[in-house]
Amino acid sequence: MTITAGTTETAPHRAPRLRTDAARNRERILAAAREMLVEQGPDVPFDDIARRAGVGNATLYRHFPDRHALLRAVLLFVMTRTADFSETVAAEEADPFTALCGFAHAAVDERAAAICGLFPAGERPEITPEMYTEYARFQTALEGLMERAREAGQLRPDITQLDFMIAVSQLSRPLPGLECEGAECHRRVDLFLNGLRPPSSAGSGHRPANHPESTTTL
């Protein structure tokens, strides 16, 4: 998804803080919806999402009264988690190219491109102020990761942020008849990442040690 920054200066609305158990249920619902939207499309039944999340239908509807609210929340969920990881890996991973690889693999795991690709342009949920904020946050972190890798001689100087995001997005979207799950999808991302290195530093793209293989148990 490409988001163009808006001109409004209205501060993003912040929802009231949820109780611990309610917040946990909400995250389980969003994680389940993220996976099932990719597997079955935007019309996946709410009953199936609730079952995958391990909650009752009433709990799901209490958090998300309609499909539009759920889809909007899923988009914000994956954008926030991707932004969080991009900032974390930038702060904790010393090797610039390993940090960049970590971001790419995290973006694949969060299924952001696959989720955004489910909706025709005219049918996507509206972009909220919170989405602008999270998108800008991960763009800033990604550009920092790429600049570090360029300065270290680990990234070709002609690779732009747009090049990087388009390639990762396309590689992480399921294609009819082709597997794009788990290790096979990450192997293809590694092939792409290896092509980003200058010829003298070509090597194996790899994830940092703190990369979350799966951070949500359903």
Question: What's the pLDDT at 33?
Answer: 94
Q: Is the pLDDT of residue 178 over 60?
A: no
Encode pLDDT of 17-28 as tens digits.
557 888 999 999
Question: What's the pLDDT at 119?
Answer: 64
* 209 compared with 69, residue with greater pLDDT: 69
| Domain assignment of residue 11, yes or no | no
d(CA 38, CA 23): 23
* 51 compared with 200, residue with greater pLDDT: 51
CATH assignment of the domain containing 37: 1.10.10.60
**102 and 35 in one domain?**
no
Average pLDDT for 177-200: 73
DSSP output for 142-186: HHHHHHHHHHTT-S-TT--HHHHHHHHHHHHS-BTTB--SHHHHH
**78 and 28 in one domain?**
no
Reported pTM: 0.71
**97 and 49 in one domain?**
no
| Domain assignment of residue 131, yes or no | yes
| Other Cβ atoms within 10 Å of 20 Cβ, number | 8
| Domain of 155, in residue numbers | 68-201
Average pLDDT for 132-142: 88
